[in-house]
Amino acid sequence: MNKSILAKLCVLLMGTGVLYAQQSTEQDTLTKEPVQLDEVLVEGKRKTDPVFSTFKSEPARKIVQSKNVADLFKDINGFGLIKRGNYAIDPSFRASQYEQLNVQFNGGTKVMHACPNRMDPITTHVIPEEIERVEVVKGPYTFRYGPTFGGIVNLVTQEVEKQAKGYHGTVNFGGENNGNALTSFANLKYVGEQFDVNLNFGYRDFGNYEDGDGNEIPSSFRSTDYGVQVGFNPTENQRLQVGFRQSFGRDVLHAGLPMDTEIDDSNVLSVDYKLDNISDGLKTLNAKVYRSKVDHVMTNELRPSFMMTEAVSEVDATTIGGRVELEWRPGSDIKLYTGLDAFSVGRTGERTRLVKRNMMTGDPLPAPMEFVDGVWQDSQIDDYGLFVEAKYPLSTKLLLNVGARYDMVCSKSDDPSDDFIAEYPDLDTRTEHNISTTASFKYMVSSDVLLELAFGRGMRSANMIERYINHFTVGQDPFEYVGNPNLDAEVNNQFELGIKAKTDFENYFFNRLDYGASVYYSIYDNYIVPVIDPTLDKKYMPMAEPTEVKRFVNLDDAYKTGFEVYGELAFLEDFSFKTELSYVYAKNKDLNESLPLTPPLVTRFNFNFEKERIWAKATYTLTSEQSDIALSFGEQVTDGYGVVDLSFGARPFKHFTVGVAASNIFDATYNNHLNFSFVNQADFGRVPINDPGRNLSAFVQYKF
């Protein structure tokens, strides 16, 4: 299956091309400008960035501690974190999550999880210190980077070709007291005229943390990562880059999931190529091919259920993909992008159960009984996409962006269970045809005021869990879930209006005021949710509550609306105060309740002091009560809370940086609405997982 996809991608790589529009950055004053791979969606340029986009830069001097990549999202306005512990953390943006967000790194590379409970999302397979910035497109407003429903998240790793010639290196060490955590990272790179190489190594060891009441939360994990990247510039206008990385997770405890991870291994191989300045009409060709593999082993050995039934699941996921794109210049002011991409994910694996006791009486069985359950039913989903997008200035102040995308999605199950075939007797390879469109305007009222207006129609076909899961518990609630291979693709018709502005002051106490706001409204068609189906019988432990079973279905009537606001005032040259506010309201009209995993109102206040060699930051995050919940999803009302964090950093010497931080300094006991509840834990009932209490951390870095 995957060999055919890889062959097609190789043909595309040799015969077609791509482009990412990106500025050239001067490397030093003595050499020519380098050819840079277009792995950047957002550059901080109002005229070239996608509409309603933002980026967060993470220079090493501002990072104090990150458990994994997901921590980089926690203070980006509009984002929340779906936590099952300290390791398996997924970003949520405007109540869109999982495959509703197009999460990738370096402009297209994906690592798809192997575990049906998402113990191993993409955020666990990249070293946090590798990430130079997080880029976000806030809706279905560009389709050059794959099918997009709720938005794009691009994790940009180190761009070595931009750096000065010679040898460079970094060594980091960090630790924190709440959980006795230790992190380390080492990087060595060489940049030459035609050749560059980048080597990374990271190790993280986190223990169980304590909440504000002193309760120990099972959340420990260890992970080891390394990566190698080699770049070669055969001519002045070409670049070829090959990257390989591996990640090894061990002994991971998941407080909010029924099992723990013994092994979580992944590897990613990617090849990128760029040909620049081809001709007057055809500017750039850019191409990418990648393959990622995740091997995942989970058990219930440390759980109470182990006394009744031993369970071991061994699953794997293989992802193959790539993209090719061309940037055309049919006129001096027109940028036209055409291209195609492909994405294939295949998953296999089984769960082996050794039943040791009678489920009704609890008495030991004379001989344990072994059962083998298919987890993924050897399923595969392939997506082949074509896209076109154009940027055209209607005037010196008004920029129009239009785009369209076609996706052919093929799905199949090679080894379906007998009961699944009984539910879907016509089960066969299915092909869907999805069309997405977008149109947006940017209007420069002045050099300091930008207005944005956008519409996007993004389509997302059902993922593998929604199609093929068969009587497994994969949600926040304890229900068994059954997939539906006949689901229609869900559609997000999103409208958004926004403003970004700034005001500079001269000879005043205040130096600058940056402010902005956006409001959006999404009309959902065929929104996919699990609901109780009375025609289904429970398969495993049929007498245990709940006895009902959920099936994934399409909703007829649902919508989402919300806003984000920010304002930042800089004063006395080195000080600034920033306020951010985000709110989303989502409605499932079919069941007359909220859509699941909808975050509450969040307000954030930041006070910053920053000079060249010393900086400090205080953050107060106020999260409101969330009483608008999805009862059918097992959600509970979540109380509001406030958390204060402090951080301080300095560079006492040229190459040496230190940082200290205190998180949740008042030791508040709280849980976020997106946190999962404890499952199969000896000392906890099914209540939401609390976040960490007070935590002190320290960070040191040597860089040359």
The token duo for 681 is 């834990």
Q: Find residue 481's DSSP bridge partners.
A: 472, 550
| Contact present, 255 and 219 (Cβ < 8 Å) | yes
* Residue 654 CB neighbours (<10 A): 8
CA dihedral angle for residue 430, residue 464, residue 133, residue 566, rounded to 10 degrees: 90
Q: State whether the Cα torsion 128-134-139-140 is positive or negative.
A: negative
- In the DSSP assignment, the letter for residue 533 is -
- pLDDT in the model for residue 58: 63
CA-to-CA distance for 335 and 232, rounded, in angstroms? 28
**Among 53, 95, 154, which residue's Cα sits nearest to residue 516?**
53
| Contact present, 6 and 205 (Cβ < 8 Å) | no
**Among 550, 631, 571, 630, which residue's Cα sits nearest to residue 598?**
630
- pLDDT in the model for residue 359: 75
- pLDDT in the model for residue 62: 56
Strand 102-105 to strand 152-157: parallel, antiparallel, or no bridges (unpaired)? parallel
With 70 as the cut, is the pLDDT of residue 643 above it? yes
- pLDDT in the model for residue 1: 44
**Among 422, 545, 397, 384, which residue's Cα sits nearest to residue 480?**
545
- pLDDT in the model for residue 88: 86
CA-to-CA distance for 698 and 704, rounded, in angstroms? 21
List Cβ neighbours of 683 (8 Å cut-off, separation of 6 or more): none
Between the alpha carbon of residue 695 and those of residues 90, 176, 493, 690, the distances in Å are 22, 7, 42, 14
**Among 187, 150, 254, which residue's Cα sits nearest to residue 522?**
150
Between the alpha carbon of residue 263 and those of residues 115, 247, 257, 581, the distances in Å are 11, 10, 16, 39
The token duo for 285 is 């060709």
35-66: pLDDT as tens digits: 777 656 776 677 778 899 988 876 545 555 66
H or E segment to which residue 4 belongs: helix 2-15
* Residue 241 CB neighbours (<10 A): 22
| Contact present, 91 and 100 (Cβ < 8 Å) | no
Once rounded to an integer, what is the mean pLDDT over residues 653-666? 93
Which parts of 415-557 are beta strand (E)? 430-446, 449-460, 470-472, 480-482, 490-504, 510-525, 527-532, 549-555
CA-to-CA distance for 131 and 252, rounded, in angstroms? 23
Question: Which strands, in side-by-side order, build the sheet including 102-105?
Answer: 53-57, 131-137, 152-157, 102-105
Q: Which residue has the tokens 């309740």?
A: 593
With 70 as the cut, is the pLDDT of residue 3 above it? no
Burial of 193 (0-12, 13-18, 19+ CB in 10 A): exposed
Q: What share of the chain is helix, strand, coil (3-state, %, to 5)?
A: 5, 55, 40
| pLDDT > 70 fraction of the chain, expressed in percent and rounded | 93
Q: Find residue 553's DSSP bridge partners.
A: 529
214-224: pLDDT as tens digits: 999 999 999 99
Name which of 47-51, 315-319, 483-487 the model is least confident about.
Answer: 47-51
SS3 state of residue 130:
helix
With 80 as the cut, is the pLDDT of residue 111 above it? yes
* Residue 289 CB neighbours (<10 A): 22
Report residue 22's pLDDT band, with 50, 70 and 90 as the boundaries: very low
- pLDDT in the model for residue 610: 92
Of the chain, the end-to-end C-alpha distance in Å amounts to 46
| Contact present, 491 and 525 (Cβ < 8 Å) | yes
Once rounded to an integer, what is the mean pLDDT over residues 73-87? 92
For the chain, give the mean pLDDT: 90
Report residue 21's pLDDT band, with 50, 70 and 90 as the boundaries: very low
- pLDDT in the model for residue 5: 40
* Residue 358 CB neighbours (<10 A): 11
Question: Which strands, in side-by-side order, build the sheet including 549-555?
Answer: 470-472, 480-482, 549-555, 527-532
359-376: pLDDT as tens digits: 777 788 989 999 999 999
Q: Annotate 47-81 with b (16+ C-beta within 10 A) or e (fewer).
A: eebbbbbbbbebebbebbbbbbbbbbbbebbbbbb
Q: Which residue has the tokens 């097992």?
A: 634
The token duo for 341 is 């991409």
- pLDDT in the model for residue 162: 82
Amino acid identity, residue 632? S
In whole angstroms, what separates CA 271 from the centre of its chain? 22
Name which of 57-71, 394-408, 411-425, 578-592 the model is least confident about.
Answer: 57-71
Once rounded to an integer, what is the mean pLDDT over residues 110-137? 91
Q: What angle do CA 518, 524, 528 make, to 5 degrees?
A: 125
SS3 state of residue 642:
strand
DSSP 674-697: TPPBP-S-TT--S-BPPPP-SEEE
Burial of 167 (0-12, 13-18, 19+ CB in 10 A): exposed
450-468: pLDDT as tens digits: 999 999 999 999 999 999 9
Once rounded to an integer, what is the mean pLDDT over residues 554-565? 96
Report residue 617's pLDDT band, with 50, 70 and 90 as the boundaries: very high
In whole angstroms, what separates CA 232 from the centre of its chain? 29
Amino acid identity, residue 401? N
**Among 11, 98, 92, which residue's Cα sits nearest to residue 460?**
98
With 80 as the cut, is the pLDDT of residue 16 above it? no
**Among 13, 465, 20, 477, which residue's Cα sits nearest to residue 273?**
13
* Backbone φ and ψ of 15, nearest 5°: -110, -15
Once rounded to an integer, what is the mean pLDDT over residues 604-632? 95
Name which of 67-76, 109-118, 142-151 the model is least confident about.
Answer: 67-76
CA-to-CA distance for 499 and 556, rounded, in angstroms? 33
Greatest alpha-carbon pair distance for the chain in Å reads 87
- pLDDT in the model for residue 358: 83
CA-to-CA distance for 669 and 682, rounded, in angstroms? 21
The token duo for 397 is 């102040």
| Contact present, 242 and 291 (Cβ < 8 Å) | no
In whole angstroms, what separates CA 296 from the centre of its chain? 19
| pLDDT > 90 fraction of the chain, expressed in percent and rounded | 80
- pLDDT in the model for residue 65: 60
Amino acid identity, residue 49? D
Amino acid identity, residue 439? A
- pLDDT in the model for residue 112: 96
